[in-house]
Amino acid sequence: MDFGTTLGLVDLPNSRSSHSRIVPRVGGIAIFIPYLVLGLILYFSNSDLLINSRPYWLGLTLIVLLGTLDDRLDLRSSIKFLAQFSIATYYILASGNYVDNLHGLFGIHAIPEWLGIALSIITVVYLVNAVNLIDGVDGLSAGTSLLSIGLLTRLMGGGEYYFSLTFIGLGLIVFMGFNFSQNRKIFLGDAGSLGLGFVLATLAMQFLHSSNNHVASLNLNPVIVAVLILGYPIADTMRVFLIRISMGVSPFNADRRHMHHVLLDKGFSHFGVTTFIMTVIAGFVVSNKVLAPRLDSHLMIVLNAIAIVLIHLFVRHRSVQLRIFWRSFSRSVFNPVKKVWNKYVAD
């Protein structure tokens, strides 16, 4: 608390907050500063532990710095967007990792370089902001990011990627212990959520660029696989943006329309919201893996869209039954883990 207060990195409660006291925004700094220092040391020493290039390390350093400045100074959205766009453009052009092939999705295979680069820059900026926008419930941004980083690392299969998974993963696990704590609560802050968004976006770009050969063994279109793994921040941010635009307000106008806010307003706890959404994501990934060898990719898109709509309607109109079921389910499955977590990590 003293560290965050001294630097002015604190979150003051407001009308959209679910906390009633000042909470330090130092989780992201605690995760990424050691990771960046060790990563840069290993990079400049040409260690075989790393596969990520200079654009990755420089881009991540800049995005974490941007988030830290935003936590401290509350930067204007136009300044943040311009900085994010510049960092994304630098990473895509300097690294050469971008979406260059849709692998037959909608009948499209290789796409022109200029189009792939433009779409990839937009995607990186979108993902960075999407992860930041879902950081409104304890553990949600950290938990879903940890799940996505783990899945992408597993699919890419390179030992070098496990360095980032291990270091960031351990940091996120410890952070979530404090994030769920009542007595020692801390938040990721924009340094953490923007940093996680950048890590996920760059992993997705490396996964989808055809020259990296990460998609040869998949039985489902790799673009669909990436969207599924990153599905919650992508879908929830798109849904909220469309609602805001339809109401004639800026898509960046802050409100309580995100799915995690809906679940909170329906009576879910923060822990319940996070575990529910992470379980739904895992369910989508597993069901698509099982069905992929049997169904066409385009049919899979339709089935996933229908499933998302049905879940949304169920949350909206059957919230009482869902809350009662999930409370009972989470008590039997997650509460033993939570008790150990609070005893040895958080409190």
For the chain, the domains span 2-346
pTM, rounded to two decimals: 0.89
Q: With beta carbons less than 8 A apart as the criterion, state whether 27 and 33 touch.
A: no
Residues of the chain with pLDDT under 70: 1-21, 47-52, 158-159, 335, 337-338, 340-347
User: What is the reported pLDDT for 192?
Assistant: 94
Q: Report how far residue 260's alpha carbon sits from residue 187's, in angstroms, rounded to the nearest whole number.
A: 16
H or E segment and range at residue 263: helix 259-265
**What is the DSSP secondary structure assignment for residue 184, as one 8-state letter?**
S
- Per the structure block, which two tokens stand in for 252? 């960046």
Residue 165 DSSP SS3: helix
Q: Report how far residue 219's alpha carbon sits from residue 343's, in angstroms, rounded to the nearest whole number.
A: 42
Q: How many CB atoms lie within 10 A of CB 156?
A: 18
E strand segments, 58-119:
101-105, 108-110
Query: Please, what is the angle between helix 27-44 and helix 54-73, to 10°?
Result: 160
pLDDT tens figures, 268-309: 888 889 989 999 999 998 998 888 888 888 888 899 989 988
Q: How far is CA 31 from the centre of its chain?
A: 15
Q: How many CB atoms lie within 10 A of CB 271?
A: 18
E strand segments, the chain:
10-11, 23-24, 101-105, 108-110
pLDDT tens figures, 111-131: 999 999 999 999 999 999 999
Q: With beta carbons less than 8 A apart as the criterion, state whether 25 and 187 touch.
A: yes
Q: With beta carbons less than 8 A apart as the criterion, state whether 149 and 200 touch.
A: yes
Q: How many CB atoms lie within 10 A of CB 61?
A: 19
User: What is the reported pLDDT for 66?
Assistant: 96
Q: Report how far residue 311's alpha carbon sits from residue 320's, in angstroms, rounded to the nearest whole number.
A: 14
